[in-house]
Structure 1
Amino acid sequence: MKLTEQIVLVTGGGRGLGRSIVEAFSTEGARVIINYRASAAQAHELAAQIGPERALAAAADVTDPLQVGDLLERARVHFGAPVTTVVNNALASFTFNGDARSTAAEISWDEFSAQFAGSVRAGLNTTQAALPGMRQHHFGRIINIGTNLFQNPVVPYHDYTAAKAALLSLTRTLAKDLGPHNITANMVSGGLLRTTDASAATPEEVFDYIAASTPLGRVTTPQEFAAAVLFFASPWARSVTGQNLVVDGGLVMN
């Protein structure tokens, strides 16, 4: 299915990386659902820029399966067809500031639980809600947003990293389970991005250190990352599933 024919749900799409992903899909002609939980003003402003025929801003807590089901139904009614493509981007409350991290000696299970809910539970909820429509089309694209930290844990964000590693496992089991329906599941993993709301608290010297450590000599931007997400939704990736593409300027090499 061409990008222009796809209806794409981007969770956490109102700001930060999610906004860049929405803009990338919109530029290629896809119709987009800009999901938000707390960023109503940003999501509706972005939807207004794109226009009602090709964008819908819709609130839902993606950790709640009932709200996700309602979100997918609203999208189906608005666009007259079901969602074909899901980008699980929403991030449970988290700030990328290594100086403020919870260390191994003090981190609580509640912190782990919040991140697992925001990554794994939310990804499962959106996938299950979108599956009937994907099976109807015999086409689906599930794209999960990961991190390079579980391959290069330079900062011990224990809860965040563990949740994203679990999401990669879910990505691969979904790829195996759903492949016969022509539904692919892949992950795009980044490092620190310059700059999103989540990375705004990162000290400038950290950005400089990362840039100096990459072969490209710079920190990846949200727009560059979003372009890689487009690849997995595009016809060029039609035979790619169960993969984790690291987009960080070459800092981590598989």
Structure 2
Amino acid sequence: MTFEKQVVLVSGAGRGLGAAIARAFIENGAQVVVNYRRSEAQAKALVEELGQRAVAIQADVSDPLEARRLVNDAAEAFGHHVTTVVNNALGDFSFNGDAREKIQTIGWDDFLGQMDVALHGSLNLIQAAAPAMEAAGWGRIINIGTNLFQNPVVPYHDYTAAKAALLSLTRTAAGDLGPSGITVNMVSGGLLRVTDASAATPEAIFELIAQSTPLRRVTTPAEFADAVLFFASPWSRAVTGQNLVVDGGLVRD
């Protein structure tokens, strides 16, 4: 299915990486739902920028009823069911390793907070969107991951564990949904320059990462979004259950 025929729901798209993904889909002709939880002003400003093929819808995807309402409202807004889901929503988190709890002190509630959005929220949206995709015989689900479970250089224990669990869900969901023509993949990045979440990262860390990559620079949100579009494009029709790392070559295994 070409982008012009897709209704794309991007969770957590009011700002940061989600906004970059929404822009990329709009630039390629898709209709886009900019989901947000609290970033109402940013989401509405983004939709104003993107134009008539975008709509902002508030919902907390960690709530199954809210996720179902979001999918239904998206279908009503565009007169067509959601064809493509990008699970990008992130629980409250600051990417500053010096400020994160170490394993000796981190609490289980921190893990639950990340799991509730990254894992539970993704499951909720998959379950809400899958029936219409199955009926149509086509769908795309793209989960946003991290390279940190392959290269755990900072103590983001809760965030990394949630994203590792999301990779497992990606692969098991691909098996269940594949016979219905639905692919499920993950795109995993490292530190991005710059999103709201990475704004607290010290400049020295950006420089260190840049010098550790073959490209000698830190990946931008727009570059990361390009890879998300690949998994929604016709060129990925035989790819499912995969995890593509987009970090300038920092992680190569």
Q: The TM-score by the shorter chain falls in which range?
A: over 0.9
Q: Distance in 1 between matches of 2:76 and 2:144?
A: 27
C-alpha separation in 1, matches of 2:33 and 2:132: 15
Describe the SS at the equivalent of 1:32: strand
| Shift >4 Å, 4+ stretches | none
- Match in the other structure for 1:197: 196
Taking structure 1 as the reference length, the TM-score comes to 0.99
The aligned residue for residue 113 of structure 2 is 114
- The aligned runs of 1:29-44 (5 Å cut-off) are 29-44=29-44
Write the mapping of 1:52-71 to structure 2, written as runs, cut at 5 A: 52=52, 54-71=53-70
CA drift of 1:64 comes to: 0.4
Q: Please provide the CA RMSD for this pair.
A: 0.6
Q: Residues of 1 paired with 2:49 and 2:247: CA distance?
A: 29
Matches of 2:160 and 2:50 in 1, distance apart? 34
Counterparts of residues 171-210 of structure 1 (less than 5 Å):
171-210=170-209
Measure, in 1, the Cα distance between the counterparts of 2:217 and 2:114.
28
Deviates further, 42-51 or 142-151? 42-51
Aligned residues: 253
1:48 aligns with 2:55: no
| Cα-to-partner distance string for 1:82-122 (whole Å, 9 max, x where unaligned) | 00000000110000000001101100000000011111100
Q: Which moved more, 1:131-140 or 1:2-11?
A: 131-140
Query: Which residue identity lines up with residue 2 of structure 2 in the other structure?
Result: K
Tell me the equivalent position of 1:123.
122
Distance between the aligned counterparts of 2:46 and 2:97, measured in 1? 31
State the alpha-carbon separation in 1 of the partners of residues 48 and 76 from structure 2: 18
Deviation of the 1:51 alpha carbon: 2.2
- Can you give the 5+ residue segments of structure 1 that lack an aligned partner in the other structure? none
Letter in 1 for 2:223: E
The Cα shift of 1:49 comes to 2.0
Partner of 1:228: 227
- State how far apart, in whole Å, the 1-side matches of 2:14 and 2:226 are: 17
Matched with 1:3 is 3
AA matched with 1:140: G
